[in-house]
């Protein structure tokens, strides 16, 4: 089943600690964590382009940021010294002396966009970040990131066309919950 394969592929860097203290969840992209949590928005992992489907509650910004940094750690690298906001054109974050602080500043800024209820569909890739990790990701994932420049990134499945979709969403979320908690 697709949900089991996606969870296992992410487990090396994402959810070993998250399941205990963070309110992260890993769900198929066609599900809506907002609906699951009855939350106005959810914070998606920046590394959705390599298949990470982890979302965090709005109150868990720090865990969301730490999780994003864990992706760089998994590649045995540090965050890039320069990155941009994935929502707006203006914001550029550069900190050559303290890479993690620069990255945290950027992520807090992006969290502000989500808090203003800007849609995930408004997100654009930070191609600098993608280049930063390029040699660690698959050719297929890299090619997919390049397609994002031609159309908005987003998940059309976030809109439920029929009630059965909500049922499926809950079903797979429960299935992932069991996997993550080791049941
Ligand atoms: Zn992730
Ligand atoms: Zn911005």
Closest among 61, 63, 45 to 155, alpha carbons compared: 45
Q: Please give the average per-residue pLDDT across 97-126, as a whole number.
A: 94
Residue 120: pLDDT band with limits 50, 70, 90 = confident
Q: What is the Å distance from ligand 1's center to 136 Cα?
A: 14
Q: What is the Å distance from ligand 1's center to 52 Cα?
A: 5
Closest among 1, 56, 35 to 165, alpha carbons compared: 35
Domain ranges of the chain: 2-177
Q: What is the Å distance from ligand 1's center to 181 Cα?
A: 17
Closest among 64, 8, 18 to 41, alpha carbons compared: 64
Q: Please give the average per-residue pLDDT across 147-163, as a whole number.
A: 49
Q: Which residues pair with 44 in a beta bridge?
A: 55
Give the DSSP H or E segment for 82.
strand 82-84
How many Cβ atoms from other residues are within 10 Å of residue 87's Cβ?
Answer: 19
């Amino acid at each position: 089943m697709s949900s089991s394969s996606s969870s296992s592929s992410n487990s090396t860097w994402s959810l070993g600690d998250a399941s205990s203290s963070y309110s992260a969840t890993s769900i198929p992209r066609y599900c809506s964590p907002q609906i699951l949590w009855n939350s106005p928005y959810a914070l998606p992992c920046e590394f959705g382009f390599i298949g990470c489907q982890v979302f965090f509650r709005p109150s868990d910004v720090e865990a969301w940021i730490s999780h994003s940094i864990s992706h760089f750690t998994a590649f045995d690298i540090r965050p890039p010294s320069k990155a941009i906001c994935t929502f707006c054109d203006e914001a550029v974050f550069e900190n050559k002396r303290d890479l993690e602080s620069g990255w945290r500043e950027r992520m807090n800024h992006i969290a502000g966009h989500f808090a203003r209820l800007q849609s995930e569909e408004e997100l654009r890739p930070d191609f600098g970040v993608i280049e930063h990790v390029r040699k660690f990701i698959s050719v297929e994932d890299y090619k997919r990131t390049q397609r994002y420049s031609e159309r908005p990134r987003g998940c059309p499945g976030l809109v439920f066309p029929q009630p059965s979709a909500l049922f499926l969403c809950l079903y797979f979320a429960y299935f992932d919950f069991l996997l993550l908690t080791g049941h």
